[in-house]
Amino acid sequence: DVDRESMRRADPLTATFSGVAWDITNSTTPGQRIALIGPTNSVILSSQANSASPNGIPVHQMPLTLSSPVEGAAIWVASHSVNYSGVWDLTGLNSNLANEFSLAARRGTLTQDGRDLHIRLQSPLNGTIEIRIMYDWIRSESPIELLDLFDRPDDGGGVLVAEWTPSQDSGWEAYRIYLQEGNWSSMPTTADLVMRAPDARIPMWSTTLAEIATVNGVPIIDGVDIYGVALIEYDDGTLGEPSPIMGPASASDEVPNPPEWANAGPAEGGADGDLYVEWRKCTAIDHAGTRIWAVTQEITDAVGLPTQGADINSQANSTVLQLEKGRPYWVALTCVDEGGLHDPANATIIGPVVPTGGINDGIPPNPIENITAYDTPEDEGGRITVEWTPNNEDDCAWHTILIRPSLADELTPTNAEDFANATIVADCTTNSTIISDWGGILLEDNTLYWVTVVAFDAWGNGDYGNVTIVQVSPEKNVRGTDPPGRVENLSAWDHPQDMGEAIDVSWAATDVGDFGYYVVWASSQPVDNLAATWARCKDDVGACGAVKMDIQYPINSEQGLIGLTLTKALYDGDNVENSDPDTIRPNVPLSVTVTIHDLYGSAFLTGLPSVVVTPIDNRDDIIAPDRLQAPIVTDVPNDNGTAVYVEFELSDASDIDHYEVYSDIIAYTSSGHRQPIMILDRIVQQPIMVKVIDGGETIMSGIPVHIAIVPVDSSGNAHRDLLNVGSGKAIDNSGDDPGGHLPDVDFTVQWSEDGGAIEIEWQELVRTDIRSYRIYVSDSRFENTDEADMAKGGIIGTFWSLEEFNETLSYDNSTHWFIAVSAFDGNVWKHLVQAKELKPYKAPSDGDGDGTNDGEASAGLFDLIDMNTMLTILLSLAIVTVLLLAIRGRSNRSRNEALELAHAAWGLPQEEGWGDNEDGEVPRSPDADLAGTLIPAASQIQASQESQETQPGVAPQVEAPPTDASRRLAELSDDMFGDTPSSKSSSGDSELDSLIDDLL
């Protein structure tokens, strides 16, 4: 029996290992460590191991035995550590171990102090082992190696990027990179490079990539092939061996990518018409700004869109545009670099968006009604005409035409959820359009399509579910027609303020109905025949340096011309067919043309008009355009003599920017102190009208004006001396009528019976040169058609009824109107007319009163007499009145000069009592009867003179010499009574002569 408090203990306790025994009875307290083997009491094991590890390393399996004479005593023991030493020949187990270890060492993490090599040992049991490895090596220079040399992406050019391996040598001080234009003729050595300054020196050991902007110490030029080597600079100043040559590489100015995304909407808290636009910030290294366009027609890119304002600051990614409230807009965005390059062909497009106020109610406009669709007649197929009744709701913003192909035996769809956009009509008043594609895919002839129209409000709400859907198929009605005509009004210039890497092109828009797109070409070879080139490039015109543009008409252009900037052209071939595209090169002349294609790509490809332009590096441009020949200065017809027309030959300089116009009445050959009176764009409609001279004074009629035209290039260069000056006069010919050779038209005018229209009827002019008639209307009296509105032109016949004034408002029959009819010969019409007054309308009387002339045009004296005739009559009456007053005034003088004149001239006897009146006046008597007194007296005097001349020896009677006044009175008498005067001599009575001259 054993007591409950007793414990069975192994005493004594013996530990045995490899034949050696230790009494450990007194050391078996919990937590106490027992060292059996140490430096002073080591145990030698057999050299022959009795087992091996999985990888072949010898292993000794040696047990530790614990024993005690006490049976059943419990013992707990744990192994804490085993220290042992040994030598193993690992290469005997793995003959490739040295190479594998070297490879592992080379793959270790390289630092400026060496490599970090991590070795992991695995064991089936937990334990600790300390290993010391000795790796003997001999220093041999290990040169670095250039891994890559490439153009820095998305930048402005002039920079290459080099990448190399890190150094493995001790004593490293820095990396050196050397670049060379063109390859070395032989492998460069350290001696070759020691005297050269490196293009890059990197003293940071961990840096293995750098941007380099110089080659052999000078700035890198884009497009030049460059090669490079790298080497190590050691801390003792020596250089390592150069790496193998890397190259070629060339720098380039990349076109920045447009923003990745953009959105737009009404500006919160903004004014009506404010549109808030936000976009992903541009990422180009040389980013200079963001270019934005807002247009009112549907677009898919920004090619050909004119610049609408300054670029947005490079640090901004949002802005507010001030636009017309409630009108749909499409917004295009591109990123612009410091060189002005951007990518309009891939512009980020959003729209339609509407700048509007108010709150989005989320309710779409009512469904569109009366939708019809039919094949567009008289075309080459692929087009459908769609008509509808426009939505007239206040918040309607645009109509979208939706379409998709009709599946076989398909019932009419009930919604348009899966329809594609064919086009967007950017208003709610248009009621028809022509479509030619669905989702960018051309319509196929004789294929059925489902078509519908959906109205959208300013917030983009539209109802795709409640729609009217119709079915239609396009057909080809006309065969064998010509493609669109060749381009017209083609011009090209150097792009301003660049390095000669772009040109500007403009041309007149075509108005063909089946327009597809334009393609703009530029080549160092002639481009009048592009048939073979088109066959090679039609699937990707960009691969041939051409630009495709699908905007038919210019946007915001007053001259009707489309403009485009080209940055690529075809080079390096003996003809255009085998030329390759490249960035436009400075000072290399380019031939430019534009082909116009229809929906199916057809176009004239031979006999193409072209122009030649030379791109110019404007940074060093100091050459001014050649002086122009003297302009032609002519009078402006039918004006008041205050303007002249000027025509001149345009400059053939490629970099022409604008023209300065100088005008003065003083002859000159140099601009001197004069300032231009106007600045003309390089595209100018001629002739131009000049109204002022230097200083702003108006041109005066009859005074010569001298005009010179000075061409100015985009760098501001111009010749302003030794000018070729043209001269001319302005003539006041405002009274001239260009149609004065045409007859007047006799017409009648009256209100219609109900007073709702004006009825004009005239007599037909029987002349072969009369082509038609024009009717002019005004609310005031006029004598020249320029002072009235043309109510109707091109009238054939002798009657017309006018119902609306200016095609907007009905004629007010409660007021006066003035109407005239003018003849037109195909070139000019009669300007000076006799307008007739149409009095206010009076309803016809129900009684028997006459009332027949109510509402008819007045035919009174003032309607038949024009202003010139009236002035002539008034002037004649004034002359007669002055003459009568003058004669009567002289008859009241104390000495009647008229009778004295008669007495002196014809010897009339003086009446008694002449001058006896105390008041110096004579009684008023009837006017003298010149026919009864002066003329017989003159005849008697004449007879007396003849009698005296026939009597010899009789001395002639001395008489007062006749005055010039008497001669003039005699002429007046002759004019009045038909008698011939007897004398026409003059004595010089200047006062009386002057009076009679004034009267006559």
Spatial CA neighbour of 819 closest among 833, 834, 835: 835
Lookup: tokens for 860 = 């009174």
pLDDT confidence of 915, banded at 50, 70, 90? Answer: very low
Q: What is the pLDDT of residue 1000?
A: 47
pLDDT confidence of 924, banded at 50, 70, 90? Answer: very low
Rg (CA), the chain: 54
Query: Partners of 177 in the beta sheet?
Result: 200, 230
Using the Cα atoms of residue 722, residue 723, residue 724 and residue 728 in order, give the sign of their dihedral.
negative
Q: Per the omega criterion (within 30 degrees of 0), is the bond before 12 cis?
A: yes
Q: What is the pLDDT of residue 909?
A: 52
Top mean pLDDT of 43-57, 408-422, 868-882, 912-926 is at 408-422
Instruction: State residue 820 phi and psi, 5-degree precision.
Output: -145, 150
Q: What is the pLDDT of residue 888?
A: 66
CB 156 within 8 A of CB 337: yes
- Interval 717-723 mean pLDDT: 94
Cα 481 to Cα 378, 412, 484, 508: the distances in Å are 11, 36, 9, 22
- Interval 985-993 mean pLDDT: 46
Residues ≥6 apart with Cβ < 8 Å to 710: 628, 659, 660, 661, 662, 671, 676, 718, 719, 720, 723
DSSP of 633-648: EEEPTTSBS--EEEE-
Instruction: State residue 941 phi and psi, 5-degree precision.
Output: -65, -40
Q: What is the pLDDT of residue 262?
A: 95
Tokens 């004069």 sit at which residue? 674
CATH code of domain 262-353: 2.60.40.10
pLDDT confidence of 558, banded at 50, 70, 90? Answer: low
Spatial CA neighbour of 444 closest among 597, 599, 550, 300: 599
Specify the higher pLDDT residue, 591 or 254: 591
Q: What is the pLDDT of residues 457-480, one digit of tens each?
A: 988 899 999 999 999 999 988 876
Backbone dihedral region of 948: left (phi > 0), alpha (psi from -120 to 50 degrees) or beta?
Answer: alpha
Specify the higher pLDDT residue, 217 or 91: 217
Specify the higher pLDDT residue, 326 or 608: 608
Top mean pLDDT of 525-529, 863-867, 954-958 is at 525-529
pLDDT surpasses 80 at 913 = no
pLDDT confidence of 856, banded at 50, 70, 90? Answer: low
Specify the higher pLDDT residue, 929 or 12: 12
Q: What is the pLDDT of residue 121?
A: 73
Q: What is the pLDDT of residue 609?
A: 95
pLDDT surpasses 50 at 682 = yes
**CATH superfamily membership of 747-864:** Immunoglobulins (2.60.40.10)
- Interval 98-116 mean pLDDT: 73
Q: Any idea what DSSP says for residue 787? A: G
Least confident of 616-620, 922-926, 969-973: 922-926
CATH 3.40.50.620, applies to 491-620: no
Residues ≥6 apart with Cβ < 8 Å to 440: none
Q: What is the pLDDT of residue 112?
A: 59
CATH fold of 632-729 reads Immunoglobulin-like (2.60.40)
Q: What is the pLDDT of residues 109-133, one digit of tens each?
A: 766 566 677 777 776 666 666 777 7
Lookup: tokens for 291 = 């270019």
Q: What is the pLDDT of residue 990?
A: 47
- Interval 25-44 mean pLDDT: 83
Q: What is the pLDDT of residue 875?
A: 81
- Interval 959-970 mean pLDDT: 49
Tokens 């006044």 sit at which residue? 965
pLDDT confidence of 852, banded at 50, 70, 90? Answer: very low
Instruction: State residue 653 phi and psi, 5-degree precision.
Output: -70, 135
**CATH superfamily membership of 146-249:** Immunoglobulins (2.60.40.10)
Exposed/middle/buried for 169, CB within 10 Å: 0-12, 13-18, 19+? middle
pLDDT confidence of 919, banded at 50, 70, 90? Answer: very low
Spatial CA neighbour of 901 closest among 946, 975, 977, 961: 961
% of residues, the chain, pLDDT over 70: 82
Top mean pLDDT of 31-45, 147-161, 802-816 is at 147-161
CB 836 within 8 A of CB 760: no
Q: What is the pLDDT of residues 777-789, one digit of tens each?
A: 999 999 888 889 9
pLDDT confidence of 159, banded at 50, 70, 90? Answer: very high
Q: What is the pLDDT of residue 690?
A: 96
pLDDT surpasses 60 at 943 = no
Q: What is the pLDDT of residue 949?
A: 44
d(CA 221, CA 206) in angstroms, rounded, equals: 29
Same fold, 146-249 and 369-472: yes
Count how many Cα atoms sit within 13 Å of the Cα of residue 155 in the half-sphere of its side chain.
16
Q: What is the pLDDT of residue 850?
A: 46
- Interval 385-396 mean pLDDT: 92
Least confident of 136-140, 154-158, 379-383, 477-481: 136-140
pLDDT confidence of 973, banded at 50, 70, 90? Answer: low
pLDDT surpasses 80 at 851 = no
What does the domain layout of the chain look like in residue ranges?
Answer: 9-137, 146-249, 262-353, 369-472, 491-620, 632-729, 747-864, 870-909+928-946+957-999
pLDDT confidence of 63, banded at 50, 70, 90? Answer: confident
pLDDT confidence of 193, banded at 50, 70, 90? Answer: very high
Q: What is the pLDDT of residue 279?
A: 95
Q: What is the pLDDT of residue 910?
A: 52
Q: What is the pLDDT of residue 469?
A: 95
CATH fold of 369-472 reads Immunoglobulin-like (2.60.40)
pLDDT confidence of 107, banded at 50, 70, 90? Answer: confident
Least confident of 271-275, 334-338, 422-426, 463-467: 271-275
Q: What is the pLDDT of residue 922?
A: 42
Q: What is the pLDDT of residue 593?
A: 97
- Interval 133-147 mean pLDDT: 72
pLDDT surpasses 80 at 564 = yes
Q: What is the pLDDT of residues 340-361, one digit of tens each?
A: 888 998 999 998 999 887 778 8
- Interval 528-556 mean pLDDT: 90
Round the average pLDDT of the chain to a whole number and report it: 82
DSSP of 286-298: TEEEEEEEEESS-
Orientation angle between helical segments 867-891 and 897-906, nearest 10 degrees: 80
- Interval 516-522 mean pLDDT: 95
Q: What is the pLDDT of residue 959?
A: 44
Q: What is the pLDDT of residues 230-266, one digit of tens each?
A: 999 988 888 988 999 999 999 998 889 999 999 998 8
Residues ≥6 apart with Cβ < 8 Å to 442: 382, 436, 599, 600
Residue 205 sits at the vertex; the CA angle it makes with 201 and 207, to the nearest 5 degrees, is 75
